[in-house]
């Protein structure tokens, strides 16, 4: 099976795990974290060109920590797309706030700025743009909207480590940016994450939130939880950081080759290919096509899996607002919540038409030919 994503664990990662075990360093409850957590933070800081990085134990925890550090609380509304992994919305609920869903655009599936403007109310406290598939959101336009209303931007960059917007790393535009190192991501520690910020006082707060609100010991000053990244996970992630550029290069090479191989079916308008622009450069976390015709996608996905063992995958169907829990809570919510789930036509369209194809670094050129031939055969 050619899987949609696969962690690339080498000898260096294994050696670093053994070193951590030899040091008896499983985790650290120190305010600044253990040695390997600090090394990982410093490598990310250099790579992203950001002042502060606070490693966290997952992308979900990173989003929750960011919302808590931004003082988002009960009664606040947070604007976010429904076309995302459910963690984005769940962390808003866990922080006590109300998620308000915004539609996405149909060309790169990131937040639609005109719908965003329409959904701002007096209660809007934060916007969480998601750089879905590694496609950067329209950060200039979002920043313009947020600036006028003094709303915090917390980027969900869980899928976009290495993607850039006007040559600047995604995750570094808002007051905070959140990353995930889950096993499928471009850089992994199995489970893991980070929040990045250029604001020193927010970074201090994040370190407290990650560690039960403590500073010097049992002196809880604000609400926090145990969101610490274990040293063993940091050992893997910091070793992966050394190979990050190479891994992203291989993704790019594979994306470009796949585009060449399937451009004929795109030229006759049967599928829409993912396209970078000058200002938006992708990390190619996912290579996501869309079928122009209705009711084709699911059969094609099944055929590719059964006939050719290709793990083409749908991200996301259903979108968050159509999951049972969100249907239940949004249906009985405030009028702004109800209106935020009724008119999401592009989200509904995308959830029924997109399909992501494998291009991770371990897919060989022969593997890509298999993917392309399988797709064309199924069409
Ligand atoms: C867009 C998005 N947000 C949030 C998350 C949550 O990250 P994690 O799985 O590390 O908790 C993920 C990844 O799984 C994601 O893809």
Q: How far is the CA of 59 from the centre of ligand 1 (A)?
A: 5
Q: Which atom of ligand 1 is nearest to the CA of 60?
A: 11
State which of 85, 128, 189 you would mutate to test the pocket of ligand 1, scoring each by most atoms of that ligand within 8 A of its C-beta.
85
pLDDT at 252: 98
Q: The tokens of 296 are what? A: 């084709």
Predicted confidence (pLDDT) per residue in 279-290, tens digit: 999 999 999 999
State which of 60, 80, 109, 190 you would mutate to test the pocket of ligand 1, scoring each by most atoms of that ligand within 8 A of its C-beta.
60
For 201, phi then psi, to 5°, come to -70, -35
Confidence grade of residue 158 (pLDDT, cut at 50, 70, 90): very high
pLDDT at 257: 98
260 plus 135 within the same structural domain = no
Mean pLDDT, residues 122-134 taken together? 98
Domain boundary among 242, 262, 294: 242
Domain boundary among 220, 242, 264: 242
185 plus 322 within the same structural domain = no
pLDDT at 180 over 70: yes
pLDDT at 148: 87
Question: Which of 105, 71, 100, 94 lies closest to 176, judged by CA?
Answer: 71
Q: How far is the CA of 375 from the centre of ligand 1 (A)?
A: 27
pLDDT at 343 over 90: no
225 plus 80 within the same structural domain = yes
pLDDT at 46: 98
pLDDT at 268: 87
For 76, phi then psi, to 5°, come to -75, 150
92 plus 161 within the same structural domain = yes
pLDDT at 331: 80
Range of the domain at 339: 244-378
Q: How far is the CA of 89 from the centre of ligand 1 (A)?
A: 11
Domain boundary among 242, 271, 306: 242
Q: How far is the CA of 219 from the centre of ligand 1 (A)?
A: 31
170 plus 312 within the same structural domain = no
142 plus 221 within the same structural domain = yes
Residue 232 lies in a domain: yes
Ligand 1, residues at Cβ distance < 6 Å: 58-60, 84-85, 87-88, 130, 156, 158-159, 180, 182, 193
Q: Which residues contact 350 (CB under 8 A, 6 or more apart)?
A: 83, 104, 106, 109, 290, 319
**Other Cβ atoms within 10 Å of 114 Cβ, number:** 11
pLDDT at 337: 64
Q: How many domains does the chain have?
A: 2
Are the C-beta atoms of residues 172 and 49 closer than 8 Å to each other?
A: yes
CB-side exposure of 337: number of CA atoms within 13 Å?
Answer: 19
Predicted confidence (pLDDT) per residue in 214-252, tens digit: 999 899 999 999 999 999 999 999 999 999 999 999 999
Mean pLDDT, residues 55-68 taken together? 98
CATH number at residue 31: 3.40.640.10
Angstrom CA distances, 327 to 79, 319, 340, stand at 17, 11, 12
């Amino acid at each position: 099976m050619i899987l949609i994503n696969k962690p690339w664990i080498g000898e260096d990662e294994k050696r670093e795990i053994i070193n951590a075990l030899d040091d008896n360093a499983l985790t650290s409850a120190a305010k600044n974290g253990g040695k390997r957590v600090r090394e990982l933070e410093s490598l990310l800081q250099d790579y992203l060109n950001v002042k502060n990085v606070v490693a966290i134990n997952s992308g979900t925890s990173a989003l929750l920590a960011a919302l808590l550090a931004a003082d988002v609380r009960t009664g606040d509304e947070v604007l976010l797309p429904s076309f995302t992994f459910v963690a984005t919305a769940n962390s808003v609920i866990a922080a006590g706030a109300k998620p308000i869903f915004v539609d996405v655009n149909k060309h790169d599936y990131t937040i639609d700025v005109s719908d965003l403007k329409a959904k701002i109310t007096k209660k809007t406290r934060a916007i969480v743009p998601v750089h879905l598939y590694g496609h950067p959101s329209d950060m200039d336009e979002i920043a313009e909207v947020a600036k006028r209303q003094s709303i915090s931007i917390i980027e969900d960059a869980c899928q976009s480590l290495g993607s850039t917007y006007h040559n600047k790393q995604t995750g570094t535009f808002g007051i905070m940016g959140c990353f995930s190192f889950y096993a499928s991501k471009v850089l992994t520690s199995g489970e893991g994450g980070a929040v990045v910020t250029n604001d020193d006082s927010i970074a201090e707060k994040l370190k407290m939130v990650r560690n039960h609100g403590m500073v010097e010991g049992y002196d809880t000053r604000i609400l926090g939880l145990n969101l610490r990244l274990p040293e063993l996970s940091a050992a893997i992630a910091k070793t992966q950081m050394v190979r990050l550029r190479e891994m992203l290069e291989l993704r790019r090479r594979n994306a470009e080759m796949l585009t060449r191989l399937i451009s004929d079916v795109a030229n006759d308008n049967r599928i829409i290919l993912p396209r970078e622009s000058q200002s938006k450069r992708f990390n190619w976390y996912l290579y996501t096509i869309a079928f122009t015709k209705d009711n084709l996608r699911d059969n094609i996905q099944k055929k590719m899996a059964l006939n050719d063992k290709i793990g083409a995958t749908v991200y996301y169907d259903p979108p968050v607002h159509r999951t049972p829990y969100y249907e239940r809570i949004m249906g009985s919510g405030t009028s702004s919540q109800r209106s935020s789930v009724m008119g999401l036509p592009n989200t509904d369209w995308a959830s029924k038409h997109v399909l992501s194809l494998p291009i991770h670094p371990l897919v060989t050129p022969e593997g890509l030919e298999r993917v392309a031939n399988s797709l064309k055969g199924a069409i």
